[in-house]
Amino acid sequence: MTMRPEQGTLISRAQAMAALLELLTDQPVVVCNGFPSREAQKIADRPTHFYMIGSMGNAPAIALGVALAKPNKQVVTFDGDGNVLMGMGTLATVGALKPKNFIHVVFDNEVYGTTGNQPTISNVVPLEKVAKAAGYVNTVRVLDRDDLVYEFQDLLKKDGPSMLLIKVNEFQEEAERILLDPPDLTKRFMNAIKG
């Protein structure tokens, strides 16, 4: 495993997430387990966020269920490279079903950050290309904040399914565990996305 040439110039996942959350309002957001959920809770805790604490690999499946049940709501999932690799079959399910209201954001730091930065294989497997081959309509890879804001704004206007893959560095924000009990998170999210 070699170091990426651009590695030193990348933004952190928390910086990328903060930029995305500024562009989102009341869209349901399903956030994968581990630090992504903790960082999202710290940056902007909204009732429309569903924070996962387990079931790694299932974030896009949960978001897909929401998207199919609520075809008039744009549904976003915040995912990681290790998560996508674990549940890669879901790229095929999304690509085949083609929900227009589905936006898949992948923060790709090429490591299992929550467990101590063990390498994933996303340095050699371009996940947005896998998504494209599986049938996602729009797929974009970005490396910096300006591109990320521009491309996400564009995807919010387009019919999906879309994947925005953001190369981020390994920096992990100090962020506490998810505060609400899981059943309360379920209730809060259900109430927030009603109608």
| 3-state SS assignment for residue 117 | coil
| 3-state SS assignment for residue 104 | strand
d(CA 82, CA 120): 6
> Which lies closer to another protein via its Cβ, residue 14 or residue 32?
32
| 3-state SS assignment for residue 62 | helix
Single residue of 82, 87, 113, 160 touching another protein by CB under 8 A? 87
Could you count the other beta carbons within 10 Å of the beta carbon of residue 82? 25
Q: Which of 180, 166, 124, 165 is nearest to 12 (CA)?
A: 166
Query: Up-side HSE of residue 120: CA atoms within 13 Å toward CB?
Result: 22
Single residue of 5, 8, 116, 183 touching another protein by CB under 8 A? 183
CB 165 within 8 A of CB 139: yes
Pattern 33-52, binding to another protein, x per CB under 8 A? -----------------x-x
Query: Which of 9-17, 121-129, 136-144, 182-190 is the region at the interface with another protein (rule: CB under 8 A)?
Result: 182-190
Single residue of 7, 9, 55, 153 touching another protein by CB under 8 A? 55
Cβ at position 35, least distance to another protein in Å: 17
Cβ at position 12, least distance to another protein in Å: 27
Query: Which of 6-14, 39-47, 117-125, 181-189 is the region at the interface with another protein (rule: CB under 8 A)?
Result: 181-189
Q: How is residue 78 written in tokens?
A: 């915040």
Q: How is residue 168 written in tokens?
A: 């981020």
Q: Does residue number 119 form part of the binding site for another protein (CB under 8 A)?
A: no
Question: Which residue do the tokens 């049940």 mark?
Answer: 69
Which parts of this chain interact with another protein (CB under 8 A)? Answer: 28, 30, 50, 52-58, 61-70, 87, 89-90, 92-93, 97, 182-183, 185-186, 189-190, 193-194
